[in-house]
Amino acid sequence: MRQRPPVRLTLHLVKASPEAQLRLLELADLDTELARLDHRRRTLAEHAELERLAARSAQIRDAITVADTELSDLDREQARAERDVEQVRARIDRDRDRLDGGKVSSARELESLQSEMASLRRRQGDLEEVVLELMERREAAQSARDEAAAGQDTVAGEIAAVTASRDTALAEIGEQAGKAGSARASVAAGVPDELLALYDKLRAQFGGVGAAMLSRGKCEGCHVSLSTVDLNAVRAAAPDEVVRCEECRRILVRTAESGL
């Protein structure tokens, strides 16, 4: 157990009855409970899970956007390739009509037309391969989009479930904090204004609690034992004197357990 060197005990100009000082311990307990509830509210596991799910949802939205863009590009490419196929087919049909209609008058012209039709058929075959490849790519892109959309639905369901869990937990914490806050207001109403102002000032400065019990010669705020000199000074202080711990600066509240 640590024991600091002897120092001169601080007596505060504020005076308050022992009963009023004891109420500070109730306030300290309630403030500790309120701080615990606030910490729990801020550190709920659901908060981190919702952040993770939100990031996942954003990734899926990006994936869907990419898939939609790819599908749009493929649709344009496929439409263009199909138009090219139709144009080649139309050209072949015109050449065939010339052949079938007996409109070719010379052997040279016939040879040229037949060569052209053979070239057009090869071109048609190449273009149809392109169309098939684009259709396959589009099918893969559509499958990827459908998978992403299904994932989005799954994540949306998870977000709804975690949000409901978070809201339930927050409601429970809010109810507990409301009761503790009401209890604190009731206790604070019985504390003199000057003493309450000092307590609240110290609470803001030193870790959320402005008063601690002196228990068996030890400050329960910083867990440091008072020296014999300091204990004697506390014993000598009048009951309505407000004394403070030199180590943590909190108000020291004397009780039957103080060991004085």
- pLDDT tens profile 111-145: 888 888 899 999 999 999 999 999 999 999 999 99
Question: Which residue among 171, 186, 201 closes a domain?
Answer: 186
Q: Which of 186, 213, 244 is the last residue of a domain?
A: 186
pLDDT-above-90 percentage for the chain: 73
Domain count, the chain: 2
Sign of CA dihedral 4, 9, 14, 18: positive
Of 128, 156, 186, which marks where a domain is finished?
186
Same domain, 132 and 233: no
Domain that holds residue 106: 45-186
Question: In this structure, are 65 and 112 located in the same domain?
Answer: yes
Report yes or no on 3 lying in a domain: no
Beta bridge partners of residue 22, listed in sequence order: none
| CA separation for the pair 133, 148 (Å, rounded) | 23
pLDDT at position 139: 96
pLDDT over 60 (residue 88): yes
- At residue 248 the predicted structure's pLDDT band, cuts being 50, 70 and 90, is confident
The percentage of residues in the chain with a pLDDT greater than 70, rounded to a whole number, is 95
Nearest to 232 by CA among 258, 203, 202: 258
Residue 207: half-sphere exposure toward Cβ, Cα within 13 Å: 9
- The number of angstroms, rounded, from the C-alpha of 18 to the middle of its chain's C-alpha atoms is 47
Q: Could you give the dihedral angle defined by the CA atoms of residues 51, 57, 63 and 69, in that order, rounded to the nearest 10 degrees?
A: -120
The verdict on residue 32 lying in a domain is no
Residue 130 lies in a domain: yes
CATH of the domain at 127: 1.10.287.1700
Decide: pTM greater than 0.75.
no
Reported as a single tens digit per residue, the pLDDT across 152-195 is: 999 999 999 999 999 999 999 999 999 999 999 999 999 999 99
Name the 3-class secondary structure at 96.
helix
> What does the pLDDT look like over 195-211, one tens digit per residue?
999 999 999 988 788 99
Q: What is the mean pLDDT of the chain?
A: 90
